Amino acid sequence: MKHYIGAGNPMRAQFEPKSAYRAEHFSWAFEAGVGTITLNDPDRRNALTIDLSQELADKVHQAEQEANALIITGAPPAFCAGADLTQLGSSKDEGLKKIYKGFLAVANATIPTIAAVPGAAVGAGLNLALAADLRIAGPKARFDARFLQLGIHPGGGMTWMLQRLTNPQTATAMTLFGQILDADEAVRTGLAYARAEDPLAVAKELAKASAEAPAALVRTIKATMRVTDVLDDHADAVETELRPQVASIDTPEFAARLAAMKARISGR
């Protein structure tokens, strides 16, 4: 993953009006600073093909330029049923890397990401959910590694992501003992942030805070969190945060928000 600080993308003060894009098995919507990517091939449970993975990666990169937050979801009944492994071709290494491309773009995104999971997230679909910063699980959500049952080794960094998000026992239960987590169990083990009747609506509500914040600040905070996540010493974290905090105090966005807060206080 990318580790850097202060590489904020200078963006317009006001976002463009809402827009939408739809391909055969994929849709993209943009409104009020939030991008939403929907895998839309419900008959095939939104399985990842090489073309779909490339399109997903392209839209993630577009979202990094246009939005302050990104939501990834799937058209019910599934979130994503995994990868179409019949498309790998003669070079399995290269074919697999093409399948990985979409969820790795999510994992490396410079803006906050939320997976709204309405149904099953299986195999590479689980990877896609794990790649987001947060997961909101719907009542029918299921988190299923599935690789062992298919007779193939996990890929795309699934074991690393799963162990970091949950714990060694949960990761082992899912990868080596075939355990499938429902929404409540996913929340209990830390795999999901919350359970919701309408995960997409909750994801959109959560995304508002980032959408309404200064664009460069959102990106810098996310970059800082990636750096401090791998630090062992509190003092190093203090130093890591100091320079971007000082820089943010000197921005016109901070001055405007401070003035507005003072005006509210004095008007009470």
pLDDT tens digits along 202-228: 999 999 999 999 999 999 999 999 999
The mean pLDDT of 100-106, rounded to a whole number, is 97
Characterize the bridge pairing of strands 181-182 and 142-144: antiparallel
CA 36/CA 71 separation, integer angstroms: 5
**pLDDT for residue 152 is more than 70:** yes
Q: Dig out the tokens for 106 from the structure.
A: 């999510």
pLDDT band at 7 (very low <50, low <70, confident <90, very high): very low
Averaged confidence pLDDT in the chain: 91
pLDDT of residue 214: 96
| Helix H or strand E segment including 138 | none
| Helix H or strand E segment including 224 | helix 215-229
pLDDT band at 25 (very low <50, low <70, confident <90, very high): confident
Q: Dig out the tokens for 208 from the structure.
A: 């508002």
CA 108/CA 131 separation, integer angstroms: 8
pLDDT of residue 85: 78
Mean pLDDT check: name the lowest of 4-13, 44-53, 77-86: 4-13
Mean pLDDT check: name the lowest of 6-20, 112-126, 162-176, 247-261: 6-20
Beginning with the edge strand found earlier in the chain, give each strand of the sheet holding 181-182 in spatial order. Answer: 120-122, 142-144, 181-182
Neighbours of 263 (CB within 10 A): 9
- Tokens 């093409």 belong to residue: 98
Tens digit of each residue's pLDDT (9 = 90 or more) over 110-148: 999 999 999 999 999 999 999 999 999 999 999 999 999
pLDDT of residue 71: 98
pLDDT band at 10 (very low <50, low <70, confident <90, very high): very low
Spell out the residues 6+ positions from residue 71 whose beta carbon is closer than 8 angstroms to its own.
Answer: 34, 35, 36, 37, 113, 114, 115, 116, 200, 203, 204, 207
pLDDT of residue 87: 78
